[in-house]
Each structure stands twice: as structure tokens, then as C-alpha cells.
Amino acid sequence: MSERAQAAPGRRTVMGAGAAVVGAAALGVTGTARAAEKNAGTSAGHGAGHRLDLPVPTVIGHRGTSGYRPEHTLGSYQLALDMGAHIIEQDLVPTRDGHLVCRHENDITATTDVADHPEFASRRTTKTVDGTALTGWFTEDFTLAELKTLRAKERIPGNRQKNTLYDGRWEVPTFEEVLRWADREGRRRSKPVWLYVETKHPTYFRGLGLGLEEPLAKLLRRYGRHRAQSPLILQSFEPSSVQRLSKLVATPRIVLLSGAGSKPWDFVATGDPRTTDDLIRPAGLKWMASYAQGIGPTLDLIIPKDASGRLTEPTTLVRDAHAEGLVLHPYTMRNENTFLPAEFRRGTDPNAYGDAFGAFAAYFATGIDGIFSDNPDTALLAAADFAGK
Ligand code: G3P
Ligand code: CA
């Protein structure tokens, strides 16, 4: 494919507050990769030789290129790579027989054609996942062989009608298939393909006897992505999942943060009184820096919006997180008006593109280290603009 951004941003080293222009973005650069590997299984945490050889700002292909293809398909990942995304995201959930597959959540009603399969009609059910009642079909009720009879489709056809052209084209990929694809593409390009891998609903799945972290760590070891300098970043909204992973592999880790007032589900489950608001204070950031190398906050934690949806003043989160040596990879930038801050919307069609470059510029100006985007080509051009300033 030739849909590739014309320019790539520069590289610089990020050490805490972010600074000098040299070869690589670094996370907690102390010790060596060998030391970090040794630490894995004991206390591999911040400062254990993690070093991300990625451009900054780093462009993360959110669920691949979900602005252009049905999310979490090999087609979506391939296009992200061809566009030049620096790192490509997978969200992971398990099947009934314990295989890890790439879906944003275990409810596959909206992203597959499962409703069109009469043989699975009786599997439709209502479950409570992380406190929310959901009715539909769920990956944990399907074997991998059954799941492989389904086809992926566009999640939000009302917003992204063009993407429905690709409905039915791809299967639900396993994470192992993605690892093989990444290895193959890496060899072809003589350059590693970076992956950004999230454990979804880890407490919920552990309760079903389908813990995510152990099979994930096993795959990372099998494919040589378990080291501090492996081309892969692990992420979770549940700090305990990130901590568990830190004991299994040395691969770099990011703690995801939902909006102000929210609470990680593992905190709810264990009665931990802290909220996201506590985690973004200096003590919370210091705590996360003891086992992770960065955070993935919502964009609203970087620049809150007012009641009309316009951006206000940036918070101190970038400065405070950098002070603890944490990088920031906020989520998610999308080009359509409906997803943009109000001042960047153009015209009256909610699904038309607005001034996405203006919004990217506002977010990059805060000093963030990277960004998740459904439109990696736009993000790359915006990052190049920013790096050229
Ligand atoms: O993982 C970063 C971003 O993808 C978090 O949001 O809900 O799209 O997984 P979500
Ligand atoms: Ca995600």
C-alpha cells in the first residue's frame, strides 16, 4: 500500500521532563537491558533499563487505523504500518479456551457479524462487566475455532460509513497471529514493528479463571518481546494488571487513566479508596512510577474542556508526570467533528473532518510524548509540523 505520510517527526530523548535532541526516546534510563531481564520476575520496575527507540511525539495507531478500517483487524494494523505509525495498538480479551484475541472488549456484538450466525443465537446473554450490564455475545463464551467463523465489521458505521466497505473482509485476529505478522513485517522492513498491547477487564477475566497476564507473558517470551528494550509497550486501566505484568516480563509498561472522578475497576473490586484524581497527584504518580514507565491519560486530563466543549488551560499533569520520570501517551485523537474540541469543529456535519491539525497542535504544545489516534497519517503530519517548530 502507498498510503504513507510524507514526513516523520524528529527524535529526542525523554528523561523525566523531556529534553535533548538525540537518538531515542528513553524511559527511566538506568541500568541495562540485561539487568532489567534479570529483574523480571522479581521487581522489574521503573529505572530498569527501559529505553524506547521511538520518535517523539510518538504516533500510536489506535486499534490500527480505526478511522479508515474496521478496528483490530489485520487490515487495520497493516494500513497503520504502511502509513508509518510508530507503534500499533492491540486490545486483548480471551476466548473460552484461553486464547488471546484482539478486540476492544469481550462484547463482540458491534464489531463482528455474530448476530447473523443462527448457530450462535443461543449464546446471546446479559452479563455485568466491570459493573455495567451488557447484552450481547461475549468472547469468553466462544472457542477460538468458533470465533474464527465470524468476520469483523465497523463499530461505528453511522460515523464512518466508508469503513463499512470492508465489513466481512477480515477475521478476528489472535494476538499470536499479530506477533507473527509483526515479525514478518519487521524482517521485510529491516526494522522492528512496535506493538502497544492492552489487557482488557483483567480482574473480571481472572474471576472467570481466564487470567490474561500469564498467557500474554508466555507469548511475549515465545516471540522475544519480554525484555526491557523489546519493541512493545504493555498497558492497562487496572494498575494491578500492570504490576502483575511487571513481575512476569521486563517489557515497558503504561498505566491507563480514565477521566477525572473515575476509579480503576481493580480498586473498586479490592476496596482501594483511591480514584484517578488521587493517581494524578504527585504521590499517585510516584506510586505508578515504581512499577511503570508511563501513563496513558485521557486527553481531558491534559487539557480539560469547558461546558461548551472548548479546550481550557492545560493541567499540570505533563509537568508532574515528567517530574516522576513518566512519559505521557494520552488518548484518543479522531479527525471527525463529533470527537474534536468545539473550537476545532468545521461546518455542521458531525461526521465531517474538522480542524484536526489545530487540535493536534494544541495537545502537542503541552509537552506530551505521544498520542493515540484513529488517524495515524494525520497524526504523523501534525507531529512533523510540531517537531519542525
Ligand atoms: O489504550 C489507550 C486507549 O485505547 C484507551 O482507550 O477504550 O480505546 O482502549 P480504549
Ligand atoms: Ca486500548
Q: For residue range 11-30, what is the model confidence (pLDDT) as tens digits?
A: 443 333 232 222 223 343 22
CB atoms closer than 10 angstroms to residue 129: 17
pLDDT for 291 equals: 98
Q: How far apart are CA 139 and CA 103, in angstroms?
A: 9
Structural contact between residues 293 and 266, judged by C-beta atoms closer than 8 angstroms? no
What ranges do the domains of the chain cover?
69-272
Residue 93: enclosing H or E segment and its boundaries?
strand 87-94
Q: For residue range 323-343, what is the model confidence (pLDDT) as tens digits?
A: 999 999 999 999 999 999 999
Which residue has the least CA distance to atom 5 on ligand 1?
A: 331
By most ligand atoms within 8 Å of CB, the mutation choice from 89, 258, 331 for ligand 1 is 331
The alpha carbon of residue 58 and the mean position of all alpha carbons in its chain are separated, in whole angstroms, by 12
Q: How far apart are CA 244 and CA 266, in angstroms?
A: 12
Whether 296 is in the pocket of ligand 1, judged by its Cβ within 6 Å, is yes
Q: What percent of the chain has pLDDT over 70?
A: 88
Q: For residue range 265-311, what is the model confidence (pLDDT) as tens digits?
A: 999 999 999 999 999 999 999 999 999 999 999 999 999 999 999 99
pLDDT band for position 233 (50/70/90)? very high
Cα-to-centroid distance, 67 and ligand 2 (Å): 14
Whether 237 is in the pocket of ligand 1, judged by its Cβ within 6 Å, is no
Span 372-384, average pLDDT: 98
Whether 73 is in the pocket of ligand 1, judged by its Cβ within 6 Å, is no
Span 363-386, average pLDDT: 98
Q: Is the pLDDT of residue 202 over 90?
A: yes
- Composition of the chain by helix, strand, coil, percent to 5: 35, 15, 50
Cα-to-centroid distance, 331 and ligand 1 (Å): 7
Q: For residue range 216-231, what is the model confidence (pLDDT) as tens digits?
A: 999 999 999 999 999 9
Omega before residue 297 within 30° of 0, cis: no
Cα-to-centroid distance, 196 and ligand 1 (Å): 10
Q: What is the CATH number of domain 69-272?
A: 3.20.20.190
DSSP state of 334: -
The closest of 236, 231, 237 to 252, measured between CA atoms, is 231
Q: Which one has a higher pLDDT value, 9 or 49?
A: 49
pLDDT for 104 equals: 98
| Residues near 373 by beta carbon (within 8 Å), at least 6 away in sequence | 59, 60, 61, 62, 67, 332, 333, 334, 379
The closest of 165, 206, 137, 187 to 73, measured between CA atoms, is 165
Q: What is the DSSP string of 5-22?
A: -S--------STT----S
The closest of 42, 8, 4, 1 to 382, measured between CA atoms, is 8
Q: What percent of the chain has pLDDT over 90?
A: 86
pLDDT band for position 256 (50/70/90)? very high
By most ligand atoms within 8 Å of CB, the mutation choice from 63, 88, 91 for ligand 1 is 91
By most ligand atoms within 8 Å of CB, the mutation choice from 92, 198, 235, 237 for ligand 1 is 198
Q: How far apart are CA 148 and CA 133, in angstroms?
A: 26
Q: What is the pTM of this model?
A: 0.90
Q: How far apart are CA 227 and CA 26, in angstroms?
A: 14
Structural contact between residues 3 and 381, judged by C-beta atoms closer than 8 angstroms? no
CB atoms closer than 10 angstroms to residue 281: 14
pLDDT for 14 equals: 37
Helix (H, G, I), strand (E, B) or coil at 255: strand
- For residue 265, report the phi and psi dihedrals to the nearest 5 degrees: -65, -30
Q: How far apart are CA 216 and CA 224, in angstroms?
A: 12
pLDDT band for position 48 (50/70/90)? low
User: How high does pLDDT run on average in the chain?
Assistant: 90
Cα-to-centroid distance, 119 and ligand 2 (Å): 30
The closest of 321, 289, 329, 255 to 48, measured between CA atoms, is 289
Span 140-168, average pLDDT: 98
How many residues are given for the chain?
A: 389
Structural contact between residues 25 and 369, judged by C-beta atoms closer than 8 angstroms? yes
Q: Is the pLDDT of residue 160 over 50?
A: yes
| Residues near 59 by beta carbon (within 8 Å), at least 6 away in sequence | 9, 84, 85, 86, 87, 370, 371, 373, 376, 379, 380, 383
Q: Is the pLDDT of residue 4 over 80?
A: no
Q: How far apart are CA 302 and CA 385, in angstroms?
A: 20
pLDDT for 52 equals: 80
Axis crossing angle, helix 175-189 with helix 213-222, rounded to the nearest 10: 30
pLDDT for 186 equals: 98
pLDDT for 53 equals: 86
Span 186-195, average pLDDT: 98
